[in-house]
Structures are given as C-alpha cells and as structure tokens.
Amino acid sequence: MNVNLWNINILGVGFMLVFSAFTAASFMESIVFKDYNKHGITIETGFHSLAVIYGVLGVSNWFAPAIVNKLGSKWSLILSVIPNIGFIFSMYDPYQWSVFLCSAFLGMGGGVLWTANGEVIARNSPGDTKPRNTGIFWSWFNMSALVGNTFLYFQLGNAETISDGTRHTIYLVLGGFSVTGLVSFLLLRPSSNESLDECDPVEEQSLWQPIKDGLRFAVSCNMGLLYGAFIFTGLSLNFWSSVYIVIIGNVFPKRNYLALAGICIGVGQVSSGFIWSVLTYKIGRRGVLLCTTLVCCTAYTLVYLAFPSDAATTQEARAQGVPIIASNIYLSLFVALLMGLGDGGFNVTIYATLGQLWESKPAPAFAVFKFVQGILATAAFLYCGDLLLPYQLLILVLACIIGCISFLILDLKCALRADYETLQDRRDIPNNNQFYEELDQPLMGDA
C-alpha cells in the first residue's frame, strides 16, 4: 500500500473510532442525565451541553484554518481529539461544571479536527485520486453511527433505566474508542508530496483572514439564498441527534430502543449518499431536493401522529399525553430511517452546491454553512426542553419548506445564468433588462 492510500485509510479508521464514541455519547447524553439526576444534572443539562458544543463549533470554524496552518494537519488532528476524550470521560461521574467545560473544549476542537481532515485528504490525493480517496474516507466514517450504537444496543439490554454501573462501562469503552482513534493518527506518515507535520509555507495565513473571507461570502446574493437550507440543517441536527432519542426514551421502556433508533438514523445517513447521488442523474438536483423535503415532512408528520405532545419535555419517567395513533417501536424506527435519509439528502445537496459555486475557494463558504448550522442547532437545543413537540415539529416543517424554496430559487438562477440565451424565449421568465442585468452578474456576487 502506498503512503497516500495508507494515510487515507488511517484517517478514516481514526475518524470512525472517534465518532463512534462521540455519536453514541451525544445520542444518549440527555437520557443518561435523566436517569442519573444527581449533582444538579437533569435531562435539560444534556440539551444545554449539546448547545454549547455546536455553538462553539460554529464559531471555531472561522479560526480553524489558521490553527491548522500553524500546527500542521497531523498534530492538529491529534490535539483536537483530546477534548473529545475529556467530554466522554466527564460523563463517568458528571457534574454540571465539568460537562459544560468539556463541551466547550469539544466544540473548539471540532472545527480544527474537520479542517485538518480536509487538509490530509487534499495532501494525499494527487491528480485524479481525490474522488476515490474521499469515498474511502467516508466509507470508514459512515460506519461510526453503526459501530457505536451497536455497542450500546448490546450493553443496554432490556434495562428500563441506565444504572451507574452501566453508565461507567459505556463511557469507559467509548473513551477507549476515542483514545484508540487518537493513537491511530500517530501512524500518519508524510505524504509523497510533502510532510504532514508542516503546512504549506508559501503564505502565512492571518488568524482573521478566514473571518474576512467568510463575511465577504456571507453577504453575497447566492449565499443568502442558501441560508434557508442552512437553518433547516441546524434545526434538523438538533432533532435527530437528541430530541428524537429523548422522545423514544420517554415513551418506550427499554433503553436499547434508543440504540436501535440511532442505528436506523445511521443507516439512513449512510444510504442517503448513494441514493441521492444516483437520483441526481435521473431527476436532477431540484427533483432530489423536492424528494428530500417530502421525506423530511413525512417523518415529522408521523412523529406528530405517533407521539404525545409532552414526549420531548416531560420530567416524569414516561410521557403522560395520548398520541393520535398508538406509539409503535417499528414505526418509530422507520421514522428514524426517514430522518437520517432526509437530513443526509439536504447535506449532500448543500455540500455539492457549495463545492460547485465556490470551487476556487470553498473554505470560507463551508465556514459560513457550519456557522449558521451550529448557531441554529444551539438555539434549538436551548428551547427543545421547554417547547411542546407539536410546536417543534411545526418549526421544522416550515424551515424545511422555506429551505427548499430558497434553494430552488438559487438553482433556477444558476440554470438561467448558465443557459442565458436559450431561456430568453421562455414565457414564464419576465423579459426586462433589469432581470437579465442581474443574471449577468458574476455567479458569486460580491464574493
């Protein structure tokens, strides 16, 4: 195996181990805290902890490129995993101060981790090997939701509450996953092109330059049309990664059902990349987005029908409300699959669009996306413990539809820009000079 392929596989294995731990830990956090209920820890502590993680993560994406530029990609990966280990071990015997402090450090490390990941892939993908290497990495990474939640399923068994002993075992093993992932990054070797320990010395990057670039991109017209989709992915992230798991925990007695839901969400996300990519060639990007929106809205409608209104907010052992139709674990797992499929579809479409529109300088565009997504996820984690389920679902449906419409407007604008002369004869396009003058502007607007 050549050096580049070795590094890509080591990177994938490391991310699989690290995120097997983080995904399982974050999925379970709020329910673990509900069963723990000591030292001021409650179910809302889990929501607020995740709010801190994603809020800090959104901000850290602005500074991450400069940090990776200083430290090098290999040591950035290694150092950014340490907060992940601390976060997981903080749940062994949690206190509010330790959970929130470790959550903040985890958010800071997250931006650096993903920026360094992109750097390693780029440095080890000469010529036309980038699609192959990216596919190898994502194949490893996508296994994380399945590995972590499969471990949880067998560990939780038929228990109706998570005891101290079970919690200790879970977080010791998950912490071991993260430590093993960190050690695997030590095996990264200098690529055939340049050293992993040194960043490109051609240009010293200012700490503030990514922020300046991002702000310039953020006010462009095209980016503005993507904000609706960005906002929805943040709200969706809050719902599938925590709220839905809490809902299942508050309705069904067996704790291993939580792990099954996590596995179904993971299967939906893993399969979404293949399904939506194939459909893009058949029905186009607009068709895929419409199908994705339909999948998401169907999932939220089924949640509204099958779960009581207090399922996400109850402080009791079980939700007290009565759903419109009887709650069923098989239907619940199907909904989890739909949510993973729909969320994956939105993210696949966003990533492809950002890469296409800002191909020459994608980092600031992705920083804007991650910032908006992180801030909206933070806001959702702050209100989800108090807002009744129907209102949360209404917000999600409206955000999903608005995100779809604004994205379709952008896609139509790009299509018109690419095929300007052919579309002049279409009757549904207003034939006025101002309209075509706007189309004739550079695709990236001011950016």
Tokens of 421: 């002369």
Q: Measured between alpha carbons, how far is 13 from 21 in angstroms, rounded to an integer?
A: 13
Q: Measured between alpha carbons, how far is 304 from 291 in angstroms, rounded to an integer?
A: 20
**Could you tell me which of 363, 375, 354 has the C-alpha nearest to residue 107?**
375
Write out the chain's pLDDT in tens, 447 residues.
688 889 989 999 999 999 999 999 988 888 888 888 787 888 888 899 999 999 999 888 888 888 888 888 899 999 999 999 999 999 988 899 999 999 999 999 998 998 888 788 878 877 777 767 777 887 788 788 889 899 999 998 888 888 889 999 999 999 999 999 999 999 998 876 654 444 444 455 566 766 777 777 777 788 888 899 999 999 999 999 889 999 998 888 888 899 999 999 989 888 887 787 778 778 877 888 899 999 999 999 999 999 998 888 877 767 778 889 988 999 999 999 999 999 888 887 887 787 677 766 666 777 788 889 999 999 999 998 889 999 999 999 999 999 999 988 888 887 666 554 454 444 454 444 444 344 444 444 443
pLDDT score for 237 = 92
pLDDT score for 359 = 66
- Is residue 173 a contact partner of residue 48, using CB atoms and an 8 Å limit? no
**Helix, strand or coil for residue 157?**
coil
Q: Measured between alpha carbons, how far is 315 from 324 in angstroms, rounded to an integer?
A: 21
pLDDT score for 425 = 46
Tokens of 208: 């503030």
Give the count of beta carbons closer than 10 Å to the beta carbon of residue 235.
Answer: 22
Between helix 164-185 and helix 73-89 the angle, nearest 10°, is 170
Question: ∠ at Cα 373 (133, 236), nearest 5°?
Answer: 95
pLDDT score for 204 = 56
pLDDT score for 437 = 41
pLDDT score for 337 = 95
pLDDT score for 447 = 39
Q: Measured between alpha carbons, how far is 41 from 34 in angstroms, rounded to an integer?
A: 8
Distances (CA, A) of 245 to 47, 277, 374: 12, 28, 19
DSSP 167-199: HHHHHHHHHHHHHHHHHHHTT----SSS-TTS-
